[in-house]
């Protein structure tokens, strides 16, 4: 018994009149009668009694009537869910993030996506860069956000924005009076570097900038995330070169100044996803990202 036959049966069972059921189905009565007889032959039982008192359901017909509306409703739901999934309006978006990535545009991108596609479940996974790459390849996440992502044949790296560098200082430090700070100004100052991870990242960029400037890099602490880094600055352990998004932490006792350096002008935040991934949910999210890249105002709070 297919869906079409169930709809024919339901119309006759509810109308108990082949003529009215045919009108309801927008078809002639003889084809409907043939379809019901064919259904009865297929099942092997009579579903309707046709007599002087009109059309009545048999016991088999009554039992079938208990199930058919639910089956048709589930069928309609399944069709609708499939359409929504095919349009990227239903499903799941697993996003790899890192500590500094949640301090600026990423939450706003996710909020805009959630507003546009509320039925898509969004799950966030805090990961290092190498963990994100592995998780993408293992299909545990759909997309990731990070900086200084290495080129990989099986991954696509798309720019989201470029952020200027800042220097985080503790209140009362002599450099707080400067309008901007150079690498030379940080010569032999106690520095806090992050992230302390195997892959090339911000810490390595800072170390290379010191080398090119001929300045001494005095590493006071190496930490894994920006929150710990800025908290240590607030506690007067040292200074840090960070990005504009870190200023959103607004920890008391921390002052941010622009960094002026020919190498460390700005840094790119990128989104990363599997090459060839045609997931409608991913494509919908990338549309949000690209809209922002073309016009940052589209996700302004």
DSSP per-residue letters across 238-269: -BEEEEGGGGGG--TTEEEEEB--SS-SEEEE
Q: Containing H/E element for 87? A: none
3-state secondary structure of 274: strand
Give me the numbers of helices (H) and strands (E) for the chain, helices first please.
Answer: 9, 11
pLDDT of residue 1: 79
pLDDT of residue 82: 75
138-152 per-position pLDDT tens digit: 999 999 999 999 889
Rounded to the nearest 10 degrees, what angle do helices 280-294 and 105-116 cross at?
130
* Radius of gyration of the chain measured on its C-alpha atoms: 32
pLDDT of residue 298: 58
Q: Which residues of the chain have pLDDT under 70?
A: 84, 297-301
CATH class of 92-301: alpha beta
62-119 per-position pLDDT tens digit: 999 998 989 888 888 777 777 767 777 778 999 999 877 788 899 999 999 999 999 9
Per the confidence metrics, is the pTM higher than 0.75? no
pLDDT of residue 75: 82
pLDDT of residue 299: 53
Place of tokens 């697993």: 94
pLDDT of residue 90: 75
The candidate with the shortest Cα–Cα distance to 8, out of 16, 19, 22, 17, is 22
Question: Who's near 290: CB < 8 A, 6+ residues apart?
Answer: 158
3-state secondary structure of 157: strand
Please tell me the distance from the alpha carbon of residue 222 to that of residue 135, in angstroms, as a whole number: 25
Please tell me the distance from the alpha carbon of residue 8 to that of residue 33, in angstroms, as a whole number: 9
The candidate with the shortest Cα–Cα distance to 110, out of 145, 148, 155, 146, is 145
| Assigned fold of 3-86 | Arc Repressor Mutant, subunit A (1.10.10)
What token pair was written down for 73? 């409703």
3-state secondary structure of 139: coil
Give start-end residues of each CATH 3.40.190.290 domain in the chain.
92-301
Give start-end residues of each CATH 1.10.10.10 domain in the chain.
3-86
């Amino acid at each position: 018994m297919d869906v079409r036959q169930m709809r024919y049966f339901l119309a006759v069972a509810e109308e108990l009149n082949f003529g009215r059921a045919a009108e309801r189905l927008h078809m002639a009565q003889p084809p409907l009668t043939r379809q019901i007889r064919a259904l009865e032959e297929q099942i092997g039982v009579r579903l309707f009694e046709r007599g002087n008192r009109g059309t009545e359901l048999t016991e088999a017909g009554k039992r079938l009537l208990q199930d058919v509306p639910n089956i048709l409703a589930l069928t309609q739901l399944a069709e609708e869910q499939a359409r929504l999934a095919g349009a990227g309006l239903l499903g799941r978006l697993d996003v790899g993030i890192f500590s500094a990535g949640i301090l600026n545009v990423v939450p706003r991108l996710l909020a805009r996506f959630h507003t546009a596609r509320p039925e898509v479940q969004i799950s966030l996974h805090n990961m290092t860069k190498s963990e994100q790459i592995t998780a993408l390849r293992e299909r545990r996440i759909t997309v990731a956000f990070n900086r200084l992502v290495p080129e990989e044949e099986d991954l696509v790296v798309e720019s989201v924005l470029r952020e200027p560098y800042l220097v985080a200082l503790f209140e009362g430090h002599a450099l707080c009076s400067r309008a901007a700070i150079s690498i030379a100004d940080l010569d032999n100052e106690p520095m806090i570097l992050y992230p302390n991870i195997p892959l090339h990242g911000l810490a390595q960029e800072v170390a290379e900038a010191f080398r090119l400037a001929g300045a001494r890099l005095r590493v006071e602490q190496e930490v894994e995330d920006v929150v710990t880094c800025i908290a240590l600055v607030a506690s007067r352990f040292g200074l840090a070169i960070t990005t504009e998004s870190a200023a959103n932490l607004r920890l008391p006792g921390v002052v941010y100044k622009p960094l002026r350096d020919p190498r460390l002008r700005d840094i790119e935040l990128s989104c990363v996803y599997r090459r060839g991934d045609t997931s409608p949910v991913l494509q919908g999210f990338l549309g949000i990202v690209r809209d922002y890249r073309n016009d940052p105002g589209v996700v302004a709070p």
